[in-house]
Amino acid sequence: MQKPTFLNNQVYHIYNRGVDKRIVFLDDQDHFRFIHNLFEFNDETPALNIYYKLPAIQSYEVQLRKIDKDRIKDERQPRKLIVEILAFSLMPNHFHLLLRQKSDGGIVKFMQKLGTGYTNYFNKRYERAGSLFQGRFKAILIKDDAHLIHLPYYIHLNPLDLKFSKWRTEGIRNYAAAMEFLESYRWSSFLDYIGKKNFPSLTQREFLNDFFEGPQNYKKETEKWLKEMDFEEIKEVSLE
């Protein structure tokens, strides 16, 4: 797939999976590390290697610069974002990001730092070598509001694959169970969009909140989308 030309203030669906479809998030530590990288690498200033300075971190509110400041003497200035992370979802062998570029070359720079940083961490932890992800990331420009409105639902519903394996083809019978599962799944931006703090500093939600009219409405519309599933609306930009 040919990469689009990345333009400032445009929104892109970004996707990549593990090489040979391998699992790239084996446990909570891997998830936290990737989320740490999403936050830390979204900055024009080079990231501190906080993971090795603070190896005991077991939870992450995406505020690592504020954790135990006495142990972090090299405090940096506030971040200058190179992209806005509008939404994300991590699955065992792949990830989805919805990004809006803020500075020239921002998406390419961000994805290079993210891929290299996480691969180095993963290879060191699991004593392996070589590429972790399946080539360069895939990206599609979101050209119209119809795609933009539907795509966050698609990204946030991806984790249903882990519990309801046939939901895409056969639908969901128990919508309450599906929503309960989504609200228990930490590794996406869904909880923050429905007003439950999970990783609130990671995503820039104001832009999409204008479309969805706030957390309560987003939760209601997510269940409605699940009931009326129309993948035709997003097949051009789903990337899978």
In terms of Cβ atoms closer than 10 Å to its own Cβ (0-12, 13-18, 19+), residue 162 is exposed
Q: What own/partner pairs with CB < 8 Å and gap ≥ 24 does 114-120 have?
A: 114/37, 114/38, 114/41, 115/16, 117/37, 117/41, 117/47, 118/24, 118/33, 118/34, 118/37
Question: Could you tell me if 85 and 1 are in contact, meaning their C-beta atoms sit under 8 angstroms apart?
Answer: no
User: Is residue 239 pLDDT above 70, yes or no?
Assistant: no
Whole-model pTM: value is 0.86
The pLDDT score that the predictor gives to residue 229 is: 78
User: Is residue 233 pLDDT above 90, yes or no?
Assistant: no
Hey, which residues does 12 pair with through a beta bridge? Answer: 99, 141
Q: Give percent of the chain above pLDDT 70.
A: 81
Model confidence over 63-74: pLDDT tens digits?
A: 443 333 343 344
| Sequence-ordered strand ranges (E) for the chain | 11-17, 83-91, 94-101, 138-141
Fold of the domain spanning 11-139: Alpha-Beta Plaits (3.30.70)
Question: Could you tell me if 60 and 186 are in contact, meaning their C-beta atoms sit under 8 angstroms apart?
Answer: no
The pLDDT score that the predictor gives to residue 47 is: 65
Question: Could you tell me if 115 and 25 are in contact, meaning their C-beta atoms sit under 8 angstroms apart?
Answer: no
Model confidence over 204-223: pLDDT tens digits?
A: 999 999 889 899 999 999 99
Question: Could you tell me if 10 and 41 are in contact, meaning their C-beta atoms sit under 8 angstroms apart?
Answer: no
The pLDDT score that the predictor gives to residue 235 is: 61
Model confidence over 113-147: pLDDT tens digits?
A: 999 999 999 999 999 999 999 989 999 999 888 88
| Edge-to-edge order in the sheet of strand 94-101 | 83-91, 94-101, 11-17, 138-141
- Residue corresponding to tokens 């990331």: 137
Domain definitions of the chain by residue range = 11-139, 144-233
The pLDDT score that the predictor gives to residue 238 is: 67
Look at residues 86, 104, 98 and name the one whose alpha carbon lies nearest to residue 5: 104
How many other β-carbons are positioned within 10 Å of the β-carbon of residue 165? 10
How many other β-carbons are positioned within 10 Å of the β-carbon of residue 4? 14
